[in-house]
Amino acid sequence: MTAYIKKIFKSYGETSYTQKLLNDVLQTVEQQQNFTDFFTSLMNELFTAHGLLFMDAAYKPLRQLESPYFSQMIENTEAMAKSIYYTEQQLQADGYAKPIESDEQDANLFYVHDTGRVLLRRKDGKFVNEQAGISFTAQEMHQLAKNEPWLLSNNVATRPIMQDLVFPVLAFVGGPGEIAYWSLLKEAFHLMGINMPVIVPRLSITLVNRQVQEALKLTEITMTQVMNHELPELLEKWLEQQRDEQFDRLLTETQSQLQTQYEQLQSHLETSDPGLLQLLDKNLQFHKSQFDYLQKKKEQSILLKHHVQYERYHVISEQLFPEGSLQERLYSPYFYLNQFGEGLIDELLKQPYTFNGSHQLVYL
């Protein structure tokens, strides 16, 4: 892990913030024993002044607190599974994707087995996982919920409900994928005797540094065009404008003339010396490959000539939509903390965001 983190930070480049950030992360590696505690420690350090609270869902005393709710879920498992399944079928009929591919026989609970968590299904009145060779009657499930609730765990459908039963939830803040599967759960909440909380789309932002701002200005590309995924088309159009049309025309004419000459040679050899036809074809393929090579070299020469402008397109693409995804999907926050320091988090939290589900832009 230490070697991996050093490699990542090396790829960021050295700034005045790098050494402290790296040392803090490496110190956390030494202090923690697993990924969960490592992540929690890092986040606590970054948000120490902002009241961020973490809860370990597998914490034994918490599971004991959840005991009666597990029993209630076991009691209502069939009705909940059907409500989720039929809601998902209706969503699909209305033209939406199926968020979780639910089934009427789902139990929507995990059992913590020796090999890890295994998902349970309902079959012939029992709760089973055939691959793990596990089978419980409803009564046995109730005993587990009462005496060993830490052996039970929620899945994607029952986790939101358990969260609302255990905590005083004012609102659930979720991303697009989470909100999609929450859309299946209204009736399931009601079956458990509670209402769904308010659902708020989580904040989604793109950070626009000065390098990108300059690149946008010099390419005359707008953020609207970038956020509408028009950049690949704009780059293709720009590349087309840089082509040497006369060179392309001459090269095409030369290829056409050569093809005509070889066809005449082929016609002659078919009657005079058929044994050379294979060699003739091989010779033609060689010339075609040379034309391709020349074409590629010409394109490289054009890019080299205009490499500064081409690099600006590359910067916009890699900074704003790395590998075709939003920054939040690919980049670690440390990529930006390395550029702007840990104070960046405080500054980001001060910004006047609009919490209406729209994507936000923050200029650095």
Does residue 51 lie within any of the structural domains?
no
Does residue 208 lie within any of the structural domains?
no
Would the CA dihedral through 354, 360, 363, 364 be positive or negative?
A: positive
Look up the domain containing 88 and give its range: 60-201
Q: Which residue has the tokens 């066809």?
A: 263
Same domain for 266 and 195: no
Choosing from 201, 232, 267, the residue where a domain stops is 201
Same domain for 180 and 134: yes
Does residue 234 lie within any of the structural domains?
no
Same domain for 34 and 77: no
Choosing from 268, 286, 305, the residue where a domain stops is 305
Cβ-contact 144, 113 below 8 angstroms = no
Would the CA dihedral through 177, 182, 184, 188 be positive or negative?
A: positive
Residue type, 90: Q
Does residue 318 lie within any of the structural domains?
no
Same domain for 257 and 150: no
Same domain for 191 and 268: no
Q: Report the Cα 314 to chain-centroid distance in Å.
A: 21
Same domain for 76 and 188: yes
Per-residue pLDDT of the chain (364 residues; tens, 9 = 90+): 999 999 999 999 999 999 999 999 999 999 999 999 999 999 999 999 898 999 988 899 999 999 999 999 999 999 999 999 999 999 999 999 999 999 999 999 999 988 789 999 999 999 999 998 999 999 999 999 999 999 999 999 999 999 999 999 999 999 888 999 999 999 999 999 999 999 999 999 999 999 999 999 999 999 999 999 999 999 888 777 767 667 677 778 788 888 888 888 888 888 888 888 888 888 888 888 887 876 787 667 766 667 877 888 899 999 999 988 899 888 999 999 999 999 999 999 999 998 888 899 999 9
User: What angle do the packed helices 277-305 and 307-320 form, to 10 degrees?
Assistant: 80
Same domain for 96 and 145: yes
Rounded CA-CA distance 244/242 in Å is: 7
Rounded CA-CA distance 2/240 in Å is: 46
DSSP H or E stretch at residue 165: helix 159-166
Cβ-contact 153, 102 below 8 angstroms = no
Rounded CA-CA distance 248/48 in Å is: 61
Does residue 313 lie within any of the structural domains?
no
Does residue 338 lie within any of the structural domains?
no
Does residue 164 lie within any of the structural domains?
yes
pTM across the whole model: 0.75
What is the count of structural domains for the chain? 3
Same domain for 195 and 65: yes
Same domain for 39 and 71: no
Does residue 97 lie within any of the structural domains?
yes
Choosing from 271, 290, 305, the residue where a domain stops is 305
Same domain for 183 and 114: yes
Same domain for 283 and 183: no
Same domain for 176 and 258: no
